[in-house]
A and B are shown apart, each in its own frame.
Chain A
Amino acid sequence: MVDTIQIILVYTFVLGSLYLLISLGFSIVCGVLRVFHLGYGVTFIVAVYAMWMLMKEFHFGLVSAMIGMFIIQTLFTLGIIYFPVVKRYIEQEELLLTSLILISLIVEESANFFYPVTAGVNIPTTILPGAMKIGKASIPIQMLIASAVAVVTTAAFVLFLLKSRRGLVIRAVSQDIESAQLMGANVGRVYALAMVLSAIPPTICMLVIAPIWSIEPSLGLPLMMTAILVAILGGLGNIRGSMMASYIVGFLSSSVAFLFNPRMMGLATLITVFIVLIFRPEGIAKSESLW
Chain B
Amino acid sequence: MRIEHKRARLVFHIKDLKLEWTIEPRYWRNPLIGVAGLALLPLVIMSKPDYLTLLTTANIYAAVAIPLAWQMAGIGRMNFGPQFFVGIGGFTAALLSIHWGWGPWQTLGIVILLGLGFGLILSPLTTIAKGLYFSLITLILPLIFLEFTYVYTDIFKGETGLSGIAHLVHFGKIRTNYIVSCYLSMGLMLIFLYVVDKILRSRIGLYAAAINDDEDVAETCGLNINGWKVLCFTITSVMIAVTGWFAAHYYGTFAGVTYLQLPFMVKILLIVMIGGRGELYGAIVGAYFVAFLEQALTILGPIHYIVFPLVLLALLFTLPEGLYGIYRRHKYREYYPTMRVRKR
How far, in whole Å, are A106 and B140 apart by their CA atoms in the complex?
24
Given contacts A95-B316, A106-B306, contact A261 B151 (CB under 8 A): yes
Residues of B within 8 Å of A221, CB to CB, are 262
Per the bound structure, the CA–CA distance linking A26 and B16 in Å amounts to 74
Contact of A264 among B130, B133, B151, B303 (CB under 8 A): B151
A58 within 8 A of B: no
Indicate if the CB atoms of A95 and B306 lie closer than 8 Å.
no
Query: Is B113 on the interface with A (CB-CB < 8 A)?
Result: no
Residues of A within 8 A of B (CB): 36, 92, 94-95, 97-99, 101-103, 105-106, 109-110, 112-113, 221, 225, 228-229, 232, 236, 261, 263-264, 266-267, 270-271, 273-274, 277-278, 281
Residues of B289-320 at the interface with A, using a CB-CB cut-off of 8 Å, are 302-303, 305-306, 309-310, 312-313, 316-317, 320
Known: A95-B316, A99-B316. A274 touches B141 (CB 8 A): yes
A99 contacts across to B, CB distance below 8 A: 313, 316-317
Chain A residue numbers with a CB within 8 Å of B112 are none
Residues of A within 8 A of B144 (CB): 267, 270-271, 274
Contact indicator A263/B150 (Cβ below 8 Å): yes
Taking CB atoms, residues of chain A closer than 8 Å to B148 are 267
CA distance A77 to B305 in the complex (A): 22
Residues of A within 8 A of B140 (CB): 229, 270, 273-274, 277
B270 on interface, CB distance cutoff 8 Å = yes
Residues of B within 8 A of A264 (CB): 147, 151
Q: Chain B residue with minimal CB distance to A278?
A: B128
Q: Within 8 Å CB of A98, what residues of B?
A: 269-270, 273, 316
B309 and A109 contact, CB distance less than 8 A: yes
CA of A112 to CA of B304, assembled, Å: 12
List chain B residues, Cβ under 8 A from A102.
270, 309, 312-313, 316
Q: Is B8 part of the binding interface, using a Cβ–Cβ cutoff of 8 Å?
A: no
Chain B interface (Cβ < 8 Å from any Cβ of A): 78, 125, 128-130, 132-133, 136-137, 139-141, 143-144, 147-148, 150-151, 262, 266, 269-270, 273, 277, 302-303, 305-306, 309-310, 312-313, 316-317, 320
* Cross-chain contact A263 with B151 (CB below 8 angstroms): yes
The prevalent SS among residues of B at the interface is: helix
Choose one: A228, A263, A277; the contact of B137 (CB below 8 Å).
A277
Interchain CB contact (< 8 A) of A105 among B137, B303, B309: B309
Given A99-B316, A225-B262, A266-B147, 8 more pairs with CB closer than 8 A: A98-B316, A102-B309, A103-B309, A106-B310, A232-B136, A267-B151, A270-B143, A274-B137
Contact of A270 among B129, B133, B147, B277 (CB under 8 A): B147
When distances are taken between beta carbons in the complex, the residues of chain A under 8 Å from B262 are 221, 225
- Taking a contact as CB atoms under 8 Å apart, the answer to whether B269 and A109 are in contact is no
A252 to chain B, nearest CB (A): 13
A110 near B306: Cβ-Cβ < 8 Å: yes
Residues of B within 8 A of A106 (CB): 306, 309-310, 313
How far apart are the CA atoms of A110 and B144 in the complex, in Å?
A: 30
Q: Give the shortest distance, in Å, between B319 (CB) and chain A (any CB).
A: 11
Say yes or no: A97-B269 contact (C-beta < 8 A), given A270-B147, A274-B144, A277-B129: yes
When distances are taken between beta carbons in the complex, the residues of chain A under 8 Å from B306 are 106, 109-110, 113
Q: 17 interchain pairs (CB within 8 A)?
A: A95-B316, A98-B273, A99-B313, A101-B269, A102-B312, A106-B306, A110-B306, A113-B302, A113-B305, A261-B151, A264-B151, A267-B150, A274-B140, A278-B128, A278-B129, A278-B137, A281-B129
* Smallest beta-carbon distance B130→chain A, Å: 7
The residue in chain A whose Cβ has the minimal distance to the Cβ of B261 is A221
Closest Cβ of chain B to A251, distance in Å, is 18
Q: Which residues of B contact A97 (CB under 8 A)?
A: 269
Q: How far, in Å, is A99 (CB) from chain B's closest CB?
A: 6
Q: Which among A98, A232, A266 has the highest number of chain B CB atoms within 10 Å?
A: A98
A267 near B273: Cβ-Cβ < 8 Å: no
